[in-house]
Structure 1
């Protein structure tokens, strides 16, 4: 794989911990051949971990190192940490500290990225993990996307982006979401979007947990939610044995192929992923045809599904063709099917079926409209704006962010009619 993997902020590094543990454990099928896309020739992981505080990054380093296969580890210079947080403030994360006592996180990250790019025989892009509700993941993540786009204009940028709970995680989250989403729209090629509320519900369903009261969220650990996100990414991005060359290297399906399949239009870059693991014979049409049962893959939440990619892990060829035909008939949308090996990527050693669906659909309009509406309500009352003005942000920047997201939401809504 021609990518460099970049984890930014607490959320990005916590998901990264689950991601690297799942990819580098020794019982992963075809591990030696398929580990190559995620490592440099010397065996070090092609990953850069960045946070404004050291705690999460150091925990990631410790946890992943203890479970790694031989000769795989993080490069010490790629673990970049600061000494102070960014106060859940996008502007603080974007512009950084005014003091010269702490070397700029952006400069250190770009230097590590340059070295990783030089180690790749063919660099095609960066995959960035972050959230858009806090300061480091949203603000520094936005600045990194902008800097990478300027420095490596021919490379592509795919982000794994986590949206906060709608109930609220921070008083500044609506501003942070507005500004980060507008930066992503301008500077990246695709956004794999995970919404915390949806991830919580799906994780609870997989674990068989129910909310104690109907209007309450089920009790699910943050680690379980991160594991679900990492599992979805593994089902979507793990290399394929079917495309292994004579040298034993799997060229597989790179993130850039995903972008070409599911992001054909420049204004529609927000992708949604869903996954299910079933240890019995199971078909996509089972949930799609029955109105009395919950749908495992909400492709049409809030609007029409425009483009989709389906990964089928754990199916033999005969049933794989059956599922593809059933899915095409049932879903009735333009879909690309990516059949993987009969071994299950998500649950190695289990005879289970793990379909993963990546869809570019109209529910993005609903999310963008909610972000704009809530940020506007705060902006009109001048709530918390002084926290942004003091770090160099201006009124014109807010207006541009509002216009950008409104335009994208209108495009999604119009095409989803």
Structure 2
């Protein structure tokens, strides 16, 4: 089963570049069993942006015959960091629009797969292309490939300061994506920056446990997000056949594991790594240390479901260390889910420098997402009350009622998470 990676906007293509570099470093044997590339090693990726500048480095993969040239799609100008412009397009854009060209590329890439399982979208929630066009593409893909899955890797903007329209864009994106996607891996820029800007170490045999990269730069932030994504989505032995052949079902099994009901699918990811001599219990402690535990009001957060992916489990010690019970207690898993913690293992760590280092990536359907939702809803309501920037959206077909519907959707989502 194969997946098509769709990179949309500046952020999505910066992440996609890191992703493609990671896959391109793998051996030909690995590429042949990876769901994100063909048997000949071509990357199953479609790259789109409203400006050509960000896509220039992706042409390197075309020159090396690692990507079809028709899979790189650019426009003639930006979308003004405006969700409405990205979603609806400008005046007179018909058959040659970014939307139509991208959908045609996705169709061709899906037809090249042995079996198309779904799409993984890399994008940001704040910019015009990543948020607006990304949302529209998800809806179109859902209509075109009704039985295919959609998993998004969605970057949440900083709490403030990126763009005056970021709260509107995030509001409209979240509401749209929650209708069309099956699961959303959210990476908050503020949290990613804190992870990449510091190292948390603890005694772990002869090795140290690290939750991130040493520098809080944009490059390090992108690398951290892709490391987390790879930790979850690259093939693992526990989901392979007896002969070692990957089935390519990791993205879709992740959705099944951590999204037990379709009304709540916003996902939190944490990752720690250590040397091969470290104990898994220490890595679990690092994961839980970086997990939000209390809301601003002092209410404990909880999880509907948790997936732990342990790479570098060469001695099969992951389960023997009783880490699953620790993860269940640390995430305060809901009582109504009888099997809230799933786990996958692989003896090698294909994402790291050393194939024998240990990497633990944990994805949880965690109620701490309500902090983000509350912030987006409150800021958007304040801006709507002042009618701030509304004319920028109205000129592209988004009315006040559309904002209120999005607010209603996110408010219902907050109630859903609060009720668990």
Residue 363 of structure 1 corresponds to: 368
The alpha carbon displacement at 1:294 in A equals 8.9
The alpha carbon displacement at 1:33 in A equals 3.9
Quick check: 17-26 or 348-357, which moved more?
Answer: 348-357
The alpha carbon displacement at 1:115 in A equals 1.0
Q: Deviations over 1:43-90 (max 9, x none)?
A: 32111000000111112333x568xxxx75111001000010001000
Determine the C-alpha separation between the residues in 1 that align with 2:279 and 2:194: 21
1:300 to 1:75, Cα distance in 2 relative to 1, 3 A: farther
1:358 to 1:330, Cα distance in 2 relative to 1, 3 A: closer
Partner SS for 2:116 = coil
Contact 1:4 1:46 in 2 (8 A): yes
Residue 351 of structure 1 corresponds to: 356
Q: 1:335 aligns with which of 329, 337, 341?
A: 341
1:127 to 1:60, Cα distance in 2 relative to 1, 3 A: same
1:295 to 1:74, Cα distance in 2 relative to 1, 3 A: same
The alpha carbon displacement at 1:180 in A equals 0.4
Determine the C-alpha separation between the residues in 2 that align with 1:385 and 1:123: 40
Residue 306 of structure 2 corresponds to: 308
Within 5 Å, give how 1:82-231 maps onto structure 2.
82-100=75-93, 103-206=96-199, 220-231=216-227
Residue 372 of structure 1 corresponds to: 377
When normalised by structure 2's length, the TM-score is 0.87
Determine the C-alpha separation between the residues in 2 that align with 1:329 and 1:221: 33
Determine the C-alpha separation between the residues in 2 that align with 1:65 and 1:275: 32
Q: Deviations over 1:103-146 (max 9, x none)?
A: 20000011111111212222221111101101000000011011
Q: 2:394 aligns with which of 389, 398, 402?
A: 389
Residue 263 of structure 1 corresponds to: 259
The alpha carbon displacement at 1:93 in A equals 0.8
1:375 to 1:73, Cα distance in 2 relative to 1, 3 A: same
The alpha carbon displacement at 1:311 in A equals 0.4
Determine the C-alpha separation between the residues in 2 that align with 1:119 and 1:102: 23
When normalised by structure 1's length, the TM-score is 0.88
Which ranges of structure 1 fall in alignment gaps of 5 or more residues?
209-217
Determine the C-alpha separation between the residues in 1 that align with 2:239 and 2:302: 32
Residue 215 of structure 1 corresponds to: none
Determine the C-alpha separation between the residues in 2 that align with 1:294 and 1:40: 34
Determine the C-alpha separation between the residues in 2 that align with 1:344 and 1:97: 46
Q: Does 1:51 align with 2:56?
A: no
The alpha carbon displacement at 1:321 in A equals 2.0
Contact 2:230 2:351 in 1 (8 A): yes
CA RMSD of aligned residues (A): 2.5
Determine the C-alpha separation between the residues in 2 that align with 1:346 and 1:129: 18
The alpha carbon displacement at 1:278 in A equals 1.1
Q: 2:408 aligns with which of 400, 403, 406?
A: 403
